[in-house]
Structure 1
Amino acid sequence: MPRIATGATPSPNIWNNPATYELENAAVDPDGVLERAMSERRTWAGARVLDVGCGTGYHLPRFAADAAAVIGVEPHRGLAEQARRRCAGLANVEVRQGSAQALPVPDASVDVVHARWAYFFGPGCEPGLAELSRVVRRGGAAFVIDNDATRSTFGRWFRAAFPAYDPEAVQRFWTVRGWSRTPLDIRWRFERRADFEAVVRIEFRPEVAERVIAEHAGVEVDYAVNLWWRTF
C-alpha cells in the first residue's frame, strides 16, 4: 500500500500536523450549524455514507451513529490507519485508502457524500466530481464544505494568506455545474489560547499566522463557510 494514493492533492495542515489538526476539528462549529444544514437537505439516517478525505476519521463516528454504513476514504496511509483505529469498535464503519479522483467504491453504491475542506475547492476538481456522479445513487446527495472568503474574520485572514484566491470564480464553478450554495456562519471555539495559536500556525504561512495571533485576542473566531450541495 503506497504512503500516498496516486493523484492525491497534498493537504499540508493535517498531513504534517495531525495532532494539531485534531484540535482544529474539535474547535470547528461547536453549535452544530453544519450538521443541521446538511441533515435538513438530506438525512443520512439509514443511509450509506461516504466521507471523502476523512483524515483521522474525526467525523466518521458521528455519521455512524445514524447511518446504515459509513465508508471513509483517505489518500494518506498514516491518516487512514488512524481513522481505522478510531473506528475499530464500530461495525458499520470501513476506511479505505484512495483518492477523490478514483474512489474505491462501486458504481451507484452510496446515498450521501461528505467532503469537508478536502479536495473539492473549485476549478481543478472536475475528476472528483465525475467520481461523485459515478458512485452516488439516484436520489442521493453530496455535500462540500469550504471557506467563504468574502466575509468573516477568518475570511479576512484567508484572503491575506491566499491573495490569488478568486471566490467569484469558485462560486461560478459550482453554480454552472448545478450545485446549490448555502452560506453559513459558524465559529472556532478553542479550550486554550495555545491551541488556537497552534492551529493558526498550521493553517497560514508564518508571516500571516504571527500577524493573526498578534491582532486577535481570546479563543473564539467568527467563521463564514459555504455549504455546496446537490442531489443526483
Structure 2
Amino acid sequence: MTGFRATAPAGVRPSPNIWHHTSTYEVENRAVDPDGRLEAALRETASWRGRTVLDLGCGSGFHLPFFAEEAAQVIGIEPHPPLVGLARRRTRRIPHVSVLQGTAQSIPLPDDSVDVVHVRWAYFFGPGAEPGLAELARVVRRGGTAMVIDNDATRSTFGEWFRRGYAGYDADEVERFWSAQGWTRRSVDMDWGFESWEDLEAVVRIEFDPATADAVLAQWRARHGDSPDGLRVDYAVNLFSKDF
C-alpha cells in the first residue's frame, strides 16, 4: 500500500498520517497497545458481543476484523475514498462487515441502528465537533454506548512529544468540552511496541513535523542507545464514553 494524495471531501479534516502514509500507519496500528490494556478498557466500558458496532473513521479497516470476532454486525464508515476501498478489501471475506463512505457529521445510517460506536483518532473531537456528536446520539440505540479514544497530552512520553508538536492543542479545553457534553473520561496507560528502530522512526515522522520528529528521536536515542527498551514508548490516552 502506498500513500494517497487527495483533497478532503467537503467538511472533512484531512488526516496528516494515514491519508498520506498508509503503509506506515499500518505499522503504527500494529504497534499500539501490545499488552492489551486499551482493549481491556474498551471491554470494561461496553460489550459488543452479539451487537451492532459502528467504527466511525475506520480508515483502512484495521479494527473491523477485531470487532467482527464477537459482534453480530460491524459497520465501518470512512470519508476518504481510497481508504474505503482498502477497508472493503480487508473485510471482503467477513460477511457481517460492511464499509460505507461517510462523515461523522452526516452518518449514512438510520436512526437507532447501532449499539456500540468506536472512534479511534479519527480526528480530534473537541470544540466544534458538536454536529458529529449529535449524529452519534441519533444513530445509537437506547442502551448503547459510544467510545472515543484520543491522546492524553498531559502525561507520558508520547504526551510530551505531542505537546511539542501541537503547541496549540489545549488539553484542558478538550476535557471541559467532553464534560459539558456529558461524557465520561477514563485515563488509560498503554504503549507503542515496535519491532525495530526503523519502524519507530518511520511512525514518529508521520505523526510530527520534521523538526519535532528530529528532536524527539534524538532524545529517545540518547536515552536508550540501541537497547530494545527503546522500542517501547509509554503512551497515555483518554477513553471518552457515553451511554445512551
TM range (shorter): over 0.9
Which whole-Å CA distance do the structure 1 matches of 2:14 and 2:129 have between them?
13
How many residues align structurally? 231
Q: Structure 1: which amino acid aligns with 2:36?
A: G
SS at the partner of 1:29?
coil
1:215 to 179, 196, 219: 219
- Of residues 52, 68, 71, the one that matches 1:48 is 52
Q: Does residue 1:81 correspond to 2:85, yes or no?
A: yes
Q: Is 1:186 matched up with 2:190?
A: yes
Cα distance 1:3–1:110, how it changes in 2: closer, same or farther (>3 A)? farther
Alignment match, 2:146? 142
Q: For 1:143, what is the secondary structure of its paired residue?
A: strand
* Equivalent position SS for 2:169: coil
Q: Distance in 2 between matches of 1:4 and 1:60?
A: 23
Tell me the residue number matched to 1:113: 117
User: What amino acid does structure 2 have at the position aligned with 1:32?
Assistant: G
Shift of the alpha carbon at 1:31? 1.1
Please give the secondary structure, in 2, of the residue aligned with 1:132: helix
- In the alignment, structure 1 residue 13 sits paired with structure 2 residue 17: yes
Q: Distance in 2 between matches of 1:62 and 1:156?
A: 30
Q: Counterpart of 2:239 in structure 1: which amino acid?
A: L
Q: Per-residue deviation at 1:118?
A: 1.0
Q: Which residue of 2 aligns with 1:29?
A: 33
CA distance in 1, matches of 2:135, 2:124: 12
CA contact (8 A) 2:114 2:139 kept: yes
2:100 counterpart residue number: 96
- The 5 Å alignment of 1:59-78 reads 59-78=63-82
Q: How far off its partner does 1:226 sit?
A: 0.3
Moved more, 141-150 or 116-125: 116-125
* 1:65-113 per-position Cα deviation (integer Å, ceiling 9, x unaligned): 0000000000000011000000011001000011111011111000000
Q: Indicate conservation of the 8 Å contact 2:60/2:83, yes or no.
A: yes
Measured after TM superposition, the shift of residue 169 of structure 1 is 0.4
Tell me the equivalent position of 1:224: 236
- Indicate if the aligned counterparts of 1:3 and 1:78 stay in contact, CA closer than 8 A: no
8 Å Cα contact 1:5/1:98 also seen in 2: no
Q: In the TM superposition, what are the counterparts of 1:151-162 in structure 2 within 5 Å?
A: 151-162=155-166
Instruction: Verify the 8 A CA contact 2:112 2:141 in the aligned structure 1.
Output: yes
Cα distance in 2, alignment partners of residues 171 and 129 from structure 1: 15
Segment of structure 1 superposing worse, 115-124 or 10-19: 115-124
- Structure 1 residue 213 displacement after superposition: 1.1
- Sequence identity, in percent? 60
Q: Distance in 2 between matches of 1:84 and 1:121?
A: 25
Provide, for residues 164-209 of structure 1, a one-character-per-residue CA deviation record: whole Å limited to 9, x for no partner: 1111100000001110000010000001110100000000000000
Gaps of 5+ in 2: 1-5, 222-229
Q: Which amino acid aligns with 1:142?
A: A
AA matched with 1:57: G
What is the TM-score of this pair, normalised by structure 2?
0.92
* Unaligned runs of at least 5 residues, structure 1: none
- 4+ residue segments displaced more than 6 Å: none
